[in-house]
Structure 1
Amino acid sequence: MSDWTVPADRPDYDEAVEAALAKLDLETKADLLAGIDMWRTLAAPDAGLRSMTVSDGPIGVRGRFWTAADPSLALPSPTAQAASWDPALVRRIGHLLAAEARRKDVDVLLAPTINLHRSPLGGRHFEAFSEDPYLTGRIAEAYVAGVQERGVGTTMKHYVANDAETDRFTVDNVIGERALRELYLRPFEMVAAAVNPWGVMTAYNTVNGTTMTAHRELMDVLRGEFGFDGFNVSDWGAARHTVEGVEAGLDLAMPGPFTVFGEHLVAAVRDGRTTEDAVDANVRRILRLAARVGALDGVEAAVGGRIEGVADPDGLLREIARRSVVLAKNDVPAGDETRILPLHPDVVNRLALIGPAARDARILGGGSATVFPPHVVSPLDGLRARLGDRVHYAQGVDLFEQILAADRGFELTVHPVKKDGTALPAEPLANGDVKWMGYVPGGVTADEFDHALLEGRYTATRTGEHVFGTRGFGRHKLVIGGETVFEGDHDYAGDDPFEAFFGPGVERVRLHLDEGQEVAVSHEFAPFDFPPGFPPSVLFGLMHTEPRPDEDTLLREAVEAARGAEIAVVVVSTTALTESEGFDRPDLRLPGRQDELVAAVAAANPNTVVVVNTGSPVEMPWAGDVAGILLTWFPGQEGGNALAEVLLGAEPGGRLTTTWPKTLADAPVTEVVPTDGVLRYDEGVFIGYRAWQRRGTVEPAFWFGHGLSYTTWAYESIEAAAGAVRIKVRNTGDVRGREVVQLYLAPDAAADVPGGVERLRLAGFAAVEADPGEEIEVVIPIEERSFQYWNEEEHAWVRVPGAWTAKAGRNANDLGLSAEVG
């Protein structure tokens, strides 16, 4: 099913690990399990062990220093990566990330996220691959393989059932044994079996009464049953118990050094509450990781040789984004003879490009998945590079929700200042946010640090009232144009420590500025104290809001632009306050007046295409009124170029990895808010398309697996044999195209399974390309697990009784071929 390699441990690893372990005293071993700062482990030179660095995240490699001075390539979101349905492409994504990791001296990537799309309301929906465990597992296998083939470790996360963000530190997710095994554990099992991941991250949440960082039963499943032999790192700040954690196999409690291990673990051993043998078991896994990544003297890394970068990273980023785009709708407008897409540049004389996200690209989600890219190509940039002044831009609506980090028009730097008055060199900022997580530039210690000084200039982009503000838990002094406009404290009282880092900004002053006017800005910040349990971190922001335009005027201008153009392309999006780590979504509506904008543009021009720039499903009440819909997810830094290529003829390669409801009320699972601290997964195994098909009374907007092509396809034959299904498809259109052949298994309708059995299960898939008229034959293997369910009485996998039917087609509701399978 794959042609990747799995790096093997070298024969001398066991001996080297034991030799290093023998040179460590109890205190050093306990500190080794605690980390030394936000991203690094302890070095033990006497044992030949160097420090190792771990880093976020799934769409880029941030490195130790989260700063625009050291930018990171920004890839498309995991939902986009998985929408390719192409493990070979995802393997190449892994190679790119490994090269980035090596460039930034990172040993372990804190990715991939292989939680499921249980509900469309999940705040980090964009950071996970799919609603289906099999597809999630296959994509994750390729991701891990690609990264580790180049000698960089990975961590499957978040183990397990971190499928929503509300009360994520305290929620108890109560999940039946069958659903846990068949859905939420399944991707971890698949990855562990296929590619030997070097790490796992245990989640904040509790499962069935036990916090995951101390969940011995589920760690025993991972290690004992699934064969996982890597190290186990806590999510940041998730470790709560010293003895229970170490004995459950938590190997690294991060961030360090103020964790439940270290001196607390030494005391537990001295007091007899746990044993040094238990500590040694965890240390061995850290030392084996060190051997694998080349951090242990005397042995070679699992992957030797130089790690080469990707020759054309921007080209690969465009390819990934292009192949993730889902063509959801492509109609023939009234009075025309051809489908709206692709556009033909030789006949497009005027194109109206509309929407805030068309100019200010929304390329990634918030939280751990955020990086500072070296550049960003917006849809406006991408289309103007190809069509020039034939593209006419109109904003359409104002998506302002609250004051945000200073951005357009600002040129900013920041530097630390020591208590003795020494100012260290300044570094550039991408925007007004300063995120020194677990470090201060120049190696300034917590005892030496006095304050940070952000300085620069702002050139007003509009005439009118500009709002300036601050963000951050500490003391602020804000100076605009030489005048101190705020000097005071910003306190914080909450349960989520990340709120102190990333919470909302506060308005401090309103100033009238004329367009083009320059003013000097200065923002001095000193934290009250560094957050408990975290290394020294300085996180604050200069905030700003431009004068707000009149939305009615913006709407009228957009409608006029659409009316005067042959084609109208409207880019709609979510915002940083809609999809991010740390909170779930209250609804599936597009922010602001974007629905009204699309409806008005579509009424003015029947040739309207809507580009949906979101990481997860949104309601589209205007879907029946527009000619075309493209889903681009969060497309990364080259998204604008990729979108232009697809609009102008490049095949949109994506297929949905999650079912899109028409409305939130239609969605099968909408409960993400705990009741009295408990969130019950009462739906069992019925999430996603399995739930939609079981209910059978409501049609979604688009089914799991849906995605159109610029050509047409005929499914010609299917033949089932032992362990595999052979399928023939033909390109019946006029252009070369790409198809994702999807194979599902349907059990006997009379099959008697406690709790019920799904009508369909995804069992395999294959992405193919063909020229016009060309026939392609694919052979898709079937795993025995696809015929089984988890029997809660026997605590074992059992085959679902009765005959099975293999069904093949274009999505979970369009399966034109079928054959019985043994």
Structure 2
Amino acid sequence: MAPAQINYKVPSKLDVENIIYKLPASDKVKLLAGEDRWHTYTIPEHGIPGLRVSDGPNGIRGTRMFNGVPSSCFPCATGLAASFDLDLAEEVGSALADECIAKGVHVLLGPTVNVLRSPLGGRGFESFSPDPYVNGMFAARYIVGVQAKGVAACIKHYVGNEQEFERKSTDSIIGERALREIYLKPFQMAVKHSNPWTFMTSYQQVNGEHVADSNFFLNDVLRKEWGWDGAVISDWTGVYTTAASIKAGCDLEMPGPSVIRGAAALRSMVGRKLTVDDLDKCVRRILNLVNIAIDSNIPFNAPEAGIDTQELRSLLRRTAADSIVLLKNDDAILPITTPKRIAVIGPNARLAYTSGGGAASLLESWTVSPLQGITQAAKKIGAEVKYTLGTRGVKVLPLLDANLSVDKVLGEWWNKKPSDDFFSDRAGVELPEAEWSTRSQTTRNWCIDGVDADIVQPMSYQRWTFTFIPDTSGDWLFGAFTAGFGLVFFDGHLIIDHYNNAQIGPNFMGKATEEERALVKNLQAGKEYKVEVRGTADIPFFQGDNFAPKGGFRLGGECVVDEEEEMEKAVRLARDSDVTVVVVGLNQDWESEGWDRDDLTLPLRTNELVSRILKADPRAVIINQSGTPVEMPWANDAKAILQAFYGGNELGNGIADVVFGKVNPSARLTMTFPKRMEDSPSFPAFSTRSEGYNKCFYTEGIYVDYRGHDIKKVDPLFAFAHGLSYTSFSTSTLSASPISASGTFEVTVTVQNTGKVVGREVILVYIHDVVSKLPRPPRELKAFAKTKELQPGEEETVVLSLDRDALGYWSDEKHAWVAEAGLFQVLVGGEKIEIELAKTIQWTGV
């Protein structure tokens, strides 16, 4: 429930200095922390409203993770960046701002620009690229789109938050040059090109100190060196000290109520650890942010609404298609044209995996799965589609949402145990009328919010009931975990006990039990079965934890199949079809906030499935869906491969548009897909799993991603910037203007569509320092652009502007950026060292 703020109106603009002069220290301290999970503090007597913030970065969840207002989900950042279309990034930012306004949100917690130094990072899909230039430019244009409509963007996580393992205590040991050139650079570029109004600090330590406590990162670099003057917000529960974080300039502790500040800050003032001036600096920046929100005319404490327009649907579909990379297309297998029978196979086909897990996940307003998109497109050309699973691809069993009756899930709450036999092994226990109730659309309910806080107390009891209708006859395997402790009953029988001898595990951010599974035999398709879940959050582990949920559960299930028989069924279907489309990949079980991946392998028996399908149908189209790289041991055998990423609401239609040729793919990878994990430059210095040892050494230095592959001459599976088209292009007449005294210059390239299909081409400009005092990568991306849609035979002249940053590097010796006089090569092309065009220019230096 939102705090009691100033109606639904926009208040008068604040006289910041006058308010600071009048506010007592006790109220100033209140302003330094949130009032709840998604609002800053309200002080009505001084006319100060509470700001509303929301996750991001690829959608606007609003104020509720449980039973929230449905939202548009855009493709994950690695997918959006694969478009290499900065105008599209701005359009997406603008659309996200519209959804913020609809939900009364003043601060969008995004974009994420941490660096994909390892493909195993759990939140890698949230960032745009391991290349600092791509990362920074996409962040800047996204921010421009968001802030043009008065919504504040909160760029995150500043800085060095590249792994999830022990993310609050890990110490990222990063050399000064790598820190400046790779990890700080995207944030610096965002400040330069878009000026985000807020920054979010990261969880972990960098070189021995938490960033929220760091005078070096927050004052010396961010405010003094870069000249930035916005508000700094902590990551949620990411403040660990009182005086140090305030003095360093971490303005706002989130979420509220305060754990680290509050009374502790007042006590620090008594002991002269903090001064009024220390508080005033933070309060001033927070009130300035409130004034930005007031200027935006976004109401405070507004009711939340969603958006569904034809324009929005078109943008979501276009973005989904434009993020898809054509990795292989031997023999021009794609696009599909005139088949009669299409086989769709694979664990990622029937379900719409719109996003990775954690803060980026949300309740989508609608979804289109790959199977749905392909089926709808096939109907238009008179083709028949048949589907089979092939093999499982999930870690936890799929949700039962598609198998619920129309009344969905009823949740009921009591503040005290409603019956002595509430936790007996008997279903259907008679209970008094609930103190509060609601309905949910899903069998995944994490009640960290969305429950009436005026009625339901933190240590409460819940019952969930719904009707399950199987779509397939047979034995079903169910898997459940509960937020707190609980029992699961199916058709009147206790099948899972998470109450007696239960222990809290990693699920729901460490607030739920481990998944436990139960087999229920001989279910009949179409028959109704009653399911009941009883649980409690009244456990000592939750006491005093402001992230403790008021109950919840997750229940998944699937009809049991013989895996070998299912795989043979998939092989037969492929043999009997004109075209086979195999959709595989990862999902929220594997890529999520909260944990890192263990390896690059596709789940379970996925690789075996793909290999067997390719033997049955060598022309099968393989679609991989993941936010970050995976190994593809079958890649040499496949003739057609697409990389689809997490495509948001319109994922399935986006895939269909590319597969059937409605959209000519023009995306390119913004990261390297290594052949094996050992080839990744960060191997083995990532996510060190050692009890009591918390240091992670960034041993690859500046040689991240393609820089590392280039310097070691390690061939990848698919290189950075790789991406094919259904047409062909040629580039010619490369020219570069003389470098000005300030270091600016222009590169001009002519691009021609030499094929037979309308398409767009990406132009990438790399710089190579011919003779450098310090070692430098063989090439560094410093500019890129995308052509308009070119008709066959049509040309476009593309002009790219570069500045001194394209020539320079960080000198540890001088603690400054240095651009040496001498010769520089301008390299224009795609993924390889053997660049298509090259030109040498001279810089006299300053």
TM-score by length of 1: 0.92
Match among 417, 434, 437 for residue 413 of structure 2: 417
Residue of structure 2 equivalent to 1:167: 166
Amino acid of the structure 1 residue aligned with 2:134: L
Report the counterpart of residue 446 of structure 2 in structure 1.
Answer: 435
Alignment partner for residue 794 of structure 1, among 796, 814, 838? 814
**Aligned-residue offset at 1:660:** 0.8
Alpha carbons of 1:611 and 1:476: their partners in 2 closer, same or farther (altered >3 Å)?
same
Q: Provide the identity percentage.
A: 34
Deviation at 1:434, TM superposition (A): 1.2
Secondary structure in 1 matching 2:761: strand
- Letter in structure 2 aligned against 1:331: D
Q: State the 1:569 CA deviation.
A: 1.0
1:408 is paired with a residue of what secondary structure? helix
SS of corresponding position for 2:636: helix
After TM superposition, give the deviation of residue 351 of structure 1 in Å: 1.4
Q: Paired residue for 1:811? A: 831
CA distance in structure 2 between the partners assigned to 1:519 and 1:652 by the alignment: 46
Q: Which runs of 5+ in 2 are unaligned?
A: 1-11, 417-431, 740-744
Q: Which amino acid aligns with 2:593?
A: E
Q: Aligned to 1:778, what secondary structure does the other structure show?
A: strand
Alpha carbons of structure 1 residues 745 and 69: separation in structure 2 relative to 1, 3 Å: closer
| Conserved? CA contact 1:438–1:534, under 8 Å | no
- SS state of the match for residue 361, structure 1? coil
Aligned to 2:421: none
Contact 1:416 1:440 (8 Å CA) reproduced: no
Once the two structures are TM-superposed, the CA of residue 76 in structure 1 deviates from its matched residue by 0.7
- For the residues of structure 1 that align with 2:498 and 2:74, how far apart are their CA atoms? 39
The separation in 2 between residues aligned to 1:325 and 1:497, in whole angstroms, is: 31
How much does 1:598 deviate?
A: 1.2
Aligned to 1:335: none
2:20 corresponds to which letter in structure 1? L
Contact (CA 8 Å) 1:258, 1:535: kept in 2 or not?
no
Matches within 5 A, 1:540-551: 540-551=552-563
Q: Is 1:622–2:622 an aligned residue pair?
A: no
- Give the match for residue 701 of structure 2: 684
Q: Deviations over 1:313-340 (max 9, x none)?
A: 11110000111110111111xxxxxx11
Contact 1:150 1:307 in 2 (8 A): no
Take 2:299 and 2:555, find their aligned partners in 1: how far apart are those partners? 49
Structure 1 distance, partners of 2:296, 2:667, is: 42
The whole-number CA distance in structure 2 between the counterparts of 1:585 and 1:307 is: 33
Say whether residues 1:267 and 2:258 are aligned partners.
Answer: no
Quote how far apart the aligned CAs of 1:656 are.
0.6
1:728 aligns with 2:750: yes
- The equivalent residue for 1:3 is none
Contact 1:258–1:534 (Cα < 8 Å) also in 2: no
Q: Is the contact made by 2:682 and 2:699 (CA closer than 8 Å) also made in structure 1?
A: no
Determine the C-alpha separation between the residues in 1 that align with 2:549 and 2:123.
Answer: 24
Secondary structure, counterpart of 2:701 in structure 1: coil
Q: Is the contact between residue 742 and residue 811 of structure 1 (CA under 8 Å) also seen in structure 2?
A: no
2:622 to 610, 625, 632: 610
For residues 590 and 488 of structure 1, do their structure 2 counterparts lie closer, same or farther at Cα, with a shift above 3 Å needed?
Answer: closer
Match of 2:785 among 766, 769, 780: 766
Q: Indicate the SS of the match to 1:625.
A: coil
Stretch moving more, 530-539 or 125-134: 530-539
Mapped partners of 1:23, 1:260: distance in 2: 24
Structure-to-structure mapping, 1:243-392, within 5 angstroms: 243-294=243-294, 312-332=311-331, 339-344=332-337, 347-388=338-379, 390-392=384-386
Q: Deviations over 1:740-759 (max 9, x none)?
A: 000000111x4221xx2111
> Whole-Å Cα distance in 2 between the matches of residues 811 and 350 of structure 1?
36
Distance 1:734-1:425 versus aligned 2 partners, 3 A rule:
farther
Q: Residue type of the partner of 2:701? A: G
Mean Cα deviation higher: 150-159 or 473-482: 473-482
CA gap of 1:509–1:597, structure 2 versus 1, over 3 A, is closer
1:416/1:28 CA distance change after superposition, 3 Å: farther
SS where residue 349 of structure 2 aligns? helix
Question: 1:359 aligns to what SS in structure 2?
Answer: coil
Q: Kindly indicate whether the alpha-carbon contact (under 8 Å) linking 1:74 and 1:373 is maintained by their aligned counterparts in 2.
A: yes
Instruction: Give deviations 1:643-697, integer Å, cap 9, x for gaps.
Output: 111111111121110011112122222231236210011211001111111001x
Q: How many residues align structurally?
A: 792
Separation (CA, whole Å) in 2 of partners of 1:501 and 1:738: 47
**Deviation, structure 1 residue 801:** 4.8
Instruction: Say whether the 8 Å CA contact 1:79–1:615 is kept in structure 2.
Output: yes
SS at match of 2:15: helix
CA contact 1:711–1:736 (8 Å) conserved in 2:
yes
| Counterpart AA for 1:441 | D
Who is 1:209 aligned against? Answer: 208
- Distance (whole Å) between structure 2 residues aligned to residue 384 and residue 642 of structure 1: 13
Contact residue 394 and residue 587 of structure 2 kept, 8 A: no
Query: C-alpha distance in 2, partners of 1:250/1:584?
Result: 27
Match of 1:705 among 706, 721, 733: 721
Residue type at the aligned position of 2:191: A
Query: Which has the larger displacement, 539-548 or 519-528?
Result: 539-548
Q: CA deviation at 1:811?
A: 2.8
Aligned to 2:516: 506
- The letter of the residue matching 1:116 is V
Q: Distance in 2 between matches of 1:611 and 1:277?
A: 58
Structure 2: which amino acid aligns with 1:764?
A
CA distance in 1, matches of 2:581, 2:307: 39
RMSD: 2.5
Task: Report the AA paired with residue 341 of structure 1.
Answer: L
In structure 2, the partner of 1:5 is none
Q: Equivalent residue for 1:583?
A: 595
Residue equivalent to 1:570 = 582
Q: Is the 8 A contact 2:176 2:812 kept in 1?
A: yes
How far apart are the structure 1 equivalents of 2:244 and 2:202? Answer: 15
Deviation at 1:439, TM superposition (A): 4.9
1:739 corresponds to 2:735:
no
1:558 has 2:570 as partner: yes
CA contact (8 A) 1:123 1:579 kept: yes
Deviations 1:220-261 (A, max 9, x none): 201111122111111111110001110111111111113211
Q: Distance in 2 between matches of 1:821 and 1:787?
A: 11
1:668 to 654, 657, 681: 681
| Cα distance change, pair 511–144 in 1 and its aligned pair in 2 (3 A) | same
Give the residue type in structure 2 aligned to 1:625.
Answer: D
Shift of the 586–793 alpha-carbon distance from structure 1 to 2, 3 Å rule, reads same
Q: Give the distance between the partners of 2:565 and 2:73, measured in 1 at CA.
A: 35
3-state DSSP of counterpart to 2:460: strand
Q: Deviations over 1:120-171 (max 9, x none)?
A: 1111111110010011110000111111111111111001010111111110
How far did 1:546 drift?
Answer: 2.1
- What are the within-5 Å matches in structure 2 for residues 158-237 of structure 1? 158-220=157-219, 221-237=221-237
User: 2: CA distance between counterparts of 1:154 and 1:74?
Assistant: 17
By how many angstroms is 1:372 displaced? Answer: 0.8
Tell me which residue corresponds to 1:336: none
Aligned with 1:351: secondary structure?
strand
Identify if the C-alpha distance between structure 1 residues 487 and 720 changes in structure 2 by more than 3 Å, giving closer, same or farther. Answer: closer
SS in 2 for 1:546: strand
Structure 2 residue matching 1:392: 3-state secondary structure: strand
Partner amino acid for 2:411?
H
In the alignment, what sits opposite 2:427? none
Q: What does residue 105 of structure 1 align with? A: 104
TM-score (norm 2): 0.89
In the other structure, the counterpart of 2:499 is 489
Alpha-carbon contact 2:448-2:548 (below 8 Å) kept: yes
Instruction: Indicate if the aligned counterparts of 2:460 and 2:551 stay in contact, CA closer than 8 A.
Output: no
Q: Is the 1:661–1:700 contact (alpha carbons within 8 Å) kept by the matching residues of 2?
A: yes
Give the corresponding residue for 1:132.
131
Q: Distance in 1 between matches of 2:720 and 2:599?
A: 20
> Unpaired runs of 5+ in structure 1?
1-11, 333-338
Q: Give the aligned partner of residue 7 of structure 1.
A: none
Whether 1:751 and 2:772 are equivalent positions in the alignment is: yes
Give 1:178 shift.
Answer: 0.6
